[in-house]
Amino acid sequence: MEISLEGKVAIVTGAGPNIGSGIALALARYGATVACNDIDPAAAQACVERIERNGGTALAIPGDVTDEQQVTGYIDTVVERFGHIDILVNNAALLGGKGVLDESAEFFQRAVEVAGLGNFLNTQHVGRHMAENGIRGSIVAISSSNGWSGTAGVIAYAFHKGGVNNFVRAAAMDLAPYGIRVNGFTPTAPTPDNPALIAERGPGGVLDRPRAHGIGGETGDEPWRRPSRWTGERAPLVPMGTTGTPTDIGHAVAWLCSDYARLITGCDLVVDGGARAKNFAYAPAAPADTAGPVPLIPLDITGELDRDL
Ligand SMILES: NC(=O)c1ccc[n+]([C@@H]2O[C@H](COP(=O)([O-])OP(=O)(O)OC[C@H]3O[C@@H](n4cnc5c(N)ncnc54)[C@H](O)[C@@H]3O)[C@@H](O)[C@H]2O)c1
């Protein structure tokens, strides 16, 4: 049984070098033609070049997902060039931020705008294109573990990812009569595996880095401040020892966009080694003591990945 997206055309928003690029590459490796959007034209172009290096077909469609004219402009470009759109992945987001005591109204508003308007405008205009043309397509909204449970230091992110989760369920109801499916996908701090990103930042992900840049936000140094998180040694967090990579996400999203998933709508798919299913009081075995997952099936055939990811 081969999963094939041959003949399908996809748009991936926010196709920066980490997860967006991983999803775009996967859709292309499974056969789709992929239009790569980003507010940063260089990021969109780099994603196109990564896909082309791997034998796929792609087009850069730079633009701001919160600007309706730009959104309809790049959607029209894709339709003019390739005739139709079958897949939309709403991936663009502003990460980072601060906790509720420290976040600025400006950042909060923009982060919510990128997630809220980005999902809304792209889903509306691609959804209309699909409905008008009888295309029973697939729309995926990228969420986060922060949309399902609380972490200190990311109040805007927590707010808009929680919103994305229910946007998916409501949009799934709106589009079900047209045979268009809408689902969420929840990444959980994957370890980057884009060779270009590893060359730039070095190996490892957020869980491998020193705690100051990891989970839980910074606080100020006023005398009344309380710590936002446990600062002792970090217990293992993931039952299978790893949350995986953007390639793992890409395989799953490609399957979710394929016709094999024809009746899956209004759901959330998570690839996290069991992290979200874990009871709060349970600390899994140390990664070194677990069997770990089966080896990753790579999708970037141009870069040598000789590490255990
Ligand atoms: N990295 C993680 O650990 C993690 C974990 C869970 C969920 N996620 C989610 O996965 C998705 C991708 O994350 P990432 O780690 O690759 O982040 P990233 O910051 O590397 O990529 C996000 C991209 O979105 C683009 N973008 C921002 N605003 C935009 C706008 N208005 N219009 C168009 N593009 C815009 C950015 O330029 C960037 O390239 C996001 O939705 C994020 O919330 C990431």
Span 218-229, pLDDT tens digits? 778 899 999 888
**What is residue 134's predicted lDDT score, i.e. its pLDDT?**
98
At 66 the pLDDT is: 98
The residue whose C-alpha atom lies closest to atom 12 belonging to ligand 1 is 19
Quote the pLDDT of residue 51: 98
Spatial CA neighbour of 26 closest among 270, 250, 197, 256: 250
Counting residues of the chain whose pLDDT is more than 90, the rounded percentage is 87
d(CA 145, CA 148): 5
Strand runs labelled E in 22-71: 33-36, 58-60
Ligand 1: centre distance to CA 281 (Å): 30
The pair of three-digit structure tokens given for residue 79, joined into one six-digit string:
């339709």
Q: Shortest CA distance to 193 belongs to which of 131, 126, 248?
A: 248
| 83-97, 176-190, 220-234, 277-291, range with the lowest pLDDT | 220-234
CA 195 to chain centroid, in Å, comes to: 18
Q: Is 179 exposed, middle or buried (0-12, 13-18, 19+ CB in 10 A)?
A: middle
Minimum mean pLDDT range among 118-122, 231-235, 272-276, 282-286: 231-235
Q: What string of H, E and C letters represents the secondary structure of 161-203? A: HHHHHHHHHHHHHHHHHHCCEEEEEECCCCCCCCHHHHHHHCC
Atom of ligand 1 nearest to the CA of 142: 41
- Which residue's alpha carbon is at the smallest distance from atom 21 of ligand 1? 16
Is the beta carbon of 93 within 6 A of some atom in ligand 1?
yes
Atom of ligand 1 nearest to the CA of 18: 16
Q: Tell me the C-alpha distance between 270 and 253, whole Å.
A: 10
Does residue 307 carry a pLDDT above 90?
A: no
8 A C-beta contact, residue 118 and residue 92: yes
Q: How far is the CA of 295 from the centre of ligand 1 (A)?
A: 26
Token code pair at residue 16: 């920066």
**Which candidate in 30, 157, 260, 282 is catalytic?**
157
Report the predicted TM-score, pTM, of the whole model to 2 decimal places. Answer: 0.96
Mean pLDDT of 189-218: 80
Q: How far apart are CA 98 and CA 106, in angstroms?
A: 12
Domain 9-289: give its CATH architecture.
3-Layer(aba) Sandwich (3.40)
Confidence (pLDDT) at 211: 55
Residues 6+ apart with CB under 8 A from 204: 191
Phi/psi at 184 (nearest 5 deg)?
Answer: -100, 155
Percentage of the chain exceeding pLDDT 70: 95
